[in-house]
Structure 1
């Protein structure tokens, strides 16, 4: 299995961009020197001075590594590394960025090449007497909703938790436990909180197919930063029309900046069921 060694630029003051799914995720490394804990590399602080306490740092060793566990399996499209800037910037030369889905013995790691599916991201520095220092690692995905925090207006007692709509599983049979489902109520809604404030350019909705696919007709997609009225007063970007035979529906619109994406279904005696919601961004902004 061939591996691609990526050239890592020295970035002295890059702030974490919206859509960075690595912030706060669990990180480990092969060893730790002083206070250079693995978690420092995903704390959202991109200060490149190690002595400011926001960089990871291994001991001198053979083949040091650092690993990130994302909240779920993502299509990883890019990784940004903030290198140490106060000294020793050349230490990182030759480091490899790898992504994989499962932690298995003797697994074949994948280099980040175009889009790579994975839940784990490794930074691996081959060689003897090496030190690996990372001041920030940012990971970006095309669908930034996978594994994000989701809530809804109500939930059926047995199935239909809101996070089922962002679990990465697009099974359209609600009975198999991968679709959200509200109670029958007035104006049901569902909301996902993105990893940061993002420029959202499209939303894909996978509708229920085992029955009742027409229930979603008239649902509205709202995007913004406010939680007023549960987020349902944010900017309206699309309305779901008759679904006919379409189960997967993609709505593209002018880039809309926001942290919250709401699906709101106006009316009395309504049920909102979503088998998957995917959220995509265009060019990322710096905060």
Structure 2
């Protein structure tokens, strides 16, 4: 159980308790979404209300702090978090915006989430393994707990609206018995190269750790342009995240149809290849699951 109630039936009674102790055991749950990679369909601001604000661990309600994620008003907005591993998900808690504003339905901003959809995905499969459709008629509330069926294993959670609206989220927590593993960006500040360089957009700017600035790599207009990073040592690659070169309004479709390859040592044959399937635009953040844990890829290279 998760609740204990003590009552004293009858009129004119006084219930006085010195202490109540409840003994038992439970398996600890971990918020596997905390500080993980996130993305959203658009940003309502260039420097605030960004997607990562919904997994920063803060559920403060002070309206003066723009400590939440929010898209522009648009058709079918979405937000998602990439867990970095496949986790057995037990529950998900969504914290809506606790704010009143005349532009919100009935002046209550949490009502904008009415009818939201939550989906859980695993790996590169675009078919959701779990879907939750909000049944609320007016307001889903400030705190929305969602029970997930036992045995649901996923590595990505998406929240979306099927209407023209802002999508705002104060915090999203994804709970699992799976203890989060510590993974490192093994490409950070490593040696890189590209087929050519446009103005000052050198290859190293794609591995300098800056994902919310104008720091990006860029080739000239080439035939089959490429970019690569040398990891410097053999590592087990769990996943790869590519941040597309986007402005706050629209993401460039220039990466459409890209190929990513992983090489090992002096072998000229790739040990892993990913071909982008997008028809128009691969999006602002492209997560790629590389394969089963324990396969060693090495110093040369990740190539796009």
Give the TM-score taking structure 2 as reference length: 0.43
Give the TM-score taking structure 1 as reference length: 0.46
- Asked which structure has the greater CA Rg, the reply is 2
The structure whose residues are more often strand, as a share, is: 1
